[in-house]
Every structure is written in structure tokens, then in C-alpha cells.
């Protein structure tokens, strides 16, 4: 189940963290605060982690009282916190009635946070546990940032990947302000090279992100080199095909002056032929994008198998591509792939 009871249904004060960005800005202005106070409040809520507006000592007493009487500053509830043998931590959060997942992975002492942007997803990619859950709602920019805030309670974070539940290009009104806060000096101050956003490739979204000025790195979930195969596993491909997505990504790379990587989930008898490997390598060379091969993590209810020719496939891609890396799943025993934890409780 993606959905619990929201505070609105329970007749409680709304959570300020769940307001969308437009309403958040409006709330600050209605508290009779100046425009710059929007950034001040973001910092107190999403970086310092206050849960009561009285802690914003730079605001007037009247403004604090107004905020306290209209909103709750409480954090999302942590419904589950799991830790695997490889020190992966996975959280299941209740964001005002919407469930979402966040993961903290540890690789040779470097920690990467994987965060969600939606509760569920509309796009229904057939290999994805989140796709099977359906869509409940977009997460607000605050609910996206809260995941970083909460995960930082476990350890410092070196890198952030927007690769959890949901398609970021389907929620850019919230994702862009969240990325601005993560990269701004007044926010978390992460270098844009330390943040990667993953997308199946919604072309207008890629263009909008390129124009937004956030300039984070992009990972394109290609997962096939043939449009028929890709449309069968990623329905959005029938709207924006492989060439559309790669061309938009190339423009993104030059406009945002940022790296774009091609992600390729290896699925047995679907996309792992030697011919696929050659074509994938050539795409990498043509568009000057490195390849990240992903080993499929078998998931209950999803009828795919990991490819049995990883080594050979990698060798052929590497003979043709500009660069190739292989990514294996972390935290297998705690269902760390996106959507698995919610699915388990569904
Ligand atoms: S892979 Fe991404 S876009 Fe596709 S269903 Fe899963 S979360 Fe949605």
C-alpha cells in the first residue's frame, strides 16, 4: 500500500514539509516575512532539521506564532530502518500519508544516498518494483530534501543519486527547487558533480532541466539498443524513442556542461546479445557517453533473470565504448532496490 491517511483527512495542521514549492513560498509571504526568508526557512527545516518554528530565532515572534498556528514542522515518520551486512541502510518513510524509500550505500568508505521523488511511479517499466506499485503522488521538494536530512543522521553523505522511487522528469516543479537547495551555498552546498539524476528520458523534461541552471549529472536509463525492445520494457519509449532521448541528452551535456552516463540493465534473453553489446558500445562512442552496466537484482513478482554473460558482454562493450563500468546491487537481503520495501508491505 502506497497510501496511509493524510493529516488533512485526520483534521490536523498541514505539514509544512509536504507543501509544494509554490505553496511553501506563499506560506512564508503570508507569515508577513520578506522574500529572502524563504531560503532562511528552508535552511532551518531541511538542513538544521527544526521541528518547531520557535527555533527560527531570526524570525519575528509574530511570524513564528503565525507559522506555528498554521503548520506542523514535524519530520516524516520512519516506518522501517533496515541495515544490511554490506552496511547499506534502507528507510521506508511515511511522508504525510505517502510512502517512499531512501537508501544509503557504502562503497569503500564513500557514502551515496539514493532518494525518491514520487510515491510510486506512473511509467510502469516492466523490470521495476516501483512501476508495479502504481502511482500515489509526487513528493514535495521538502519531502525530497527530508530524505537527505534523515539519512545524514546515519552518516555523512558524499554523493546523492536521484534514482529511488519515481521519474524525476515527471515532478520537475519539486525536483528543481530541491536540487537548487542541495547545490546552493545556503543549502547543502554539494558540488553538482556529486549529484546524479536518473531518467528514462522524457525529452521536454531533459530540456527544462538543462535550462534550470542546476547542472547536475544525468544518467539515462537506456536498457535497450533497439526501439522495439525498449518500448516493450519502458513504455515511455513509444513517446520518446532512443534517438530522441540520446539527442536531448547530448544537448543537455553541452548546455549544462555536465556528464551524461548511459545506464544499461542487463536482462537475460532480452538485451544481452553480443550484437546488443556492439551497438551499445557504438552508441557510447557516437554520443561520447560512458556506459554503466547494471546487474539485475531478482525481485519477487518480476519475471526477469540476470544476464549469464556479464563478463563477455562487458568485454565487447568495452572494446567499442569510450568507457564502461559495472554496478552490482547493494543491500540485497534488505530489498534495497527501489520499490521493493513498499512492495513487501503491500
Ligand atoms: S524505472 Fe523509474 S521510471 Fe520506470 S517505473 Fe521504475 S521508477 Fe518509474
Lowest mean pLDDT among 58-67, 89-98, 191-200, 326-335: 326-335
| Euclidean distance between CA atoms 175 and 173, whole angstroms | 6
Structural domain contains residue 182? yes
Closest CA to 337 of 158, 198, 205: 198
Q: What residue's CA is closest to ligand 1, atom 4?
A: 125
Per annotation, catalytic residue among 114, 125, 128, 338: 338
193 and 221, same domain (yes or no): yes
| Euclidean distance between CA atoms 325 and 233, whole angstroms | 22
Q: Which DSSP string do the residues of 298-339 spell out, in sequence order?
A: --TT----B-S-HHHHHHHHHHHSS-EEEE--S-GGGT-STT
Structural domain contains residue 235? yes
Place of cell 527555533: 55
Give the chain's domain count. 2
43 and 182, same domain (yes or no): no
224 and 240, same domain (yes or no): yes
- The question of whether 338 is a catalytic residue gets the answer yes
65 and 86, same domain (yes or no): no
User: CB-based burial of residue 80 (10 Å sphere; 0-12 exposed, 13-18 middle, 19+ buried)?
Assistant: middle
Does the pLDDT at position 239 exceed 70? yes
CA of 131 to the centre of ligand 1 (A): 5
Does the pLDDT at position 346 exceed 60? no
Residues with Cβ within 8 Å of residue 146, at least 6 apart in sequence: 17, 46, 75, 76, 93, 95
> Which of 136, 200, 340 gets mutated to test ligand 1 (max ligand atoms within 8 A of its CB)?
200
CB of 121 closer than 6 angstroms to any ligand 1 atom: yes
In the chain, % of residues over pLDDT 90: 84
122 and 40, same domain (yes or no): no
86 and 64, same domain (yes or no): no
Closest CA to 169 of 207, 131, 224, 135: 207
Q: What residue's CA is closest to ligand 1, atom 5?
A: 131
186 and 231, same domain (yes or no): yes
| Euclidean distance between CA atoms 111 and 86, whole angstroms | 12
> Which of 99, 116, 123 gets mutated to test ligand 1 (max ligand atoms within 8 A of its CB)?
123
Per-residue model confidence as pLDDT tens digits over 115-158: 999 999 999 999 999 999 999 999 999 999 999 999 998 789 99
CA of 123 to the centre of ligand 1 (A): 6
Structural domain contains residue 11? no
Distances (CA, A) of 274 to 174, 177, 293, 318, 320: 41, 42, 14, 12, 12
Structural domain contains residue 310? yes
Last residue of a domain, one of 10, 44, 70: 70
CB of 130 closer than 6 angstroms to any ligand 1 atom: yes
pLDDT value of residue 208: 98
83 and 163, same domain (yes or no): yes
202 and 267, same domain (yes or no): yes
Per-residue model confidence as pLDDT tens digits over 313-327: 999 999 999 999 999
Per-residue model confidence as pLDDT tens digits over 149-170: 999 987 899 999 999 999 999 9
Query: Which of 219-239 are b and which e, b meaning 16 or more Cβ less than 10 Å from the residue's Cβ?
Result: bbbbbbbeeebbbebbbbbee
86 and 39, same domain (yes or no): no
Structural domain contains residue 99? yes
Lowest mean pLDDT among 163-177, 234-248, 290-304: 290-304
Closest CA to 157 of 104, 231, 201: 104
271 and 337, same domain (yes or no): yes
pLDDT value of residue 337: 64
Does the pLDDT at position 258 exceed 50? yes
| Euclidean distance between CA atoms 143 and 138, whole angstroms | 9
Q: Which domain holds residue 95?
A: 77-344
Structural domain contains residue 4? no
Partners of 81 in the beta sheet? 91
The DSSP call for residue 237 is: G
312 and 194, same domain (yes or no): yes
Amino acid at each position: 500500500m502506497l497510501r496511509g491517511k493524510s493529516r488533512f483527512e485526520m483534521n490536523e495542521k498541514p505539514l509544512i514539509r509536504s507543501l509544494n514549492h509554490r505553496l511553501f513560498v506563499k506560506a512564508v509571504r503570508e507569515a508577513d516575512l520578506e522574500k529572502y526568508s524563504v531560503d532562511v526557512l528552508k535552511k532551518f527545516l531541511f538542513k538544521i532539521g527544526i521541528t518547531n518554528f520557535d527555533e527560527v530565532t531570526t524570525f519575528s515572534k509574530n511570524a513564528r506564532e503565525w507559522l506555528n498556528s498554521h503548520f506542523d514542522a514535524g519530520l516524516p515518520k520512519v516506518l522501517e530502518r533496515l541495515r544490511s551486512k554490506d552496511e547499506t541502510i534502507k528507510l521506508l518513510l511515511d511522508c504525510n500519508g505517502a510512502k517512499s524509500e531512501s537508501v544509503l550505500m557504502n562503497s569503500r568508505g564513500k557514502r551515496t544516498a539514493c532518494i525518491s521523488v514520487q510515491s510510486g511511479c506512473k511509467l510502469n517499466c516492466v523490470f521495476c518494483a516501483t512501476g508495479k506499485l502504481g502511482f500515489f503522488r509526487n513528493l514535495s521538494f521538502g519531502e525530497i530534501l527530508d530524505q537527505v536530512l534523515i539519512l545524514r543522521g546515519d552518516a555523512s553523505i558524499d554523493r546523492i543519486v536521484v534514482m529511488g522511487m519515481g521519474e524525476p522528469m515527471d515532478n520537475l516543479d519539486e525536483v528543481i527547487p530541491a536540487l537548487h537547495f542541495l547545490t546552493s551555498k545556503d543549502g547543502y552546498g554539494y558540488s553538482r558533480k556529486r549529484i546524479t539524476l536518473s531518467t528514462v528520458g522524457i525529452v521536454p523534461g531533459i530540456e527544462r532541466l538543462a535550462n534550470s541552471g542546476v547542472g547536475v549529472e544525468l544518467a539515462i536509463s537506456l536498457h535497450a539498443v533497439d526501439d522495439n525492445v525498449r518500448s516493450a520494457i519502458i513504455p515511455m519509449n513509444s513517446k520518446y524513442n532512443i534517438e530522441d532521448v540520446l539527442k536531448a541528452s547530448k544537448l543537455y551535456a553541452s548546455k549544462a556542461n555536465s556528464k551524461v552516463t548511459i545506464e544499461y540493465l542487463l536482462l537475460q534473453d532480452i538485451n544481452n546479445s553480443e550484437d546488443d553489446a556492439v551497438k551499445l558500445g557504438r552508441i557510447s562512442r557516437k554520443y561520447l557517453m560512458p556506459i554503466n552496466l547494471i546487474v539485475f537484482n531478482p525481485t519477487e513478482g518480476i519475471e526477469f533473470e540476470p544476464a549469464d554473460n556479464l563478463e563477455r558482454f562487458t568485454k565487447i562493450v568495452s572494446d567499442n565504448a569510450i568507457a564502461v563500468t559495472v554496478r552490482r546491487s547493494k543491500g540485497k537481503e534488505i530489498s534495497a532496490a527501489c520499490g521493493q520495501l513498499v512492495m513487501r508491505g503491500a
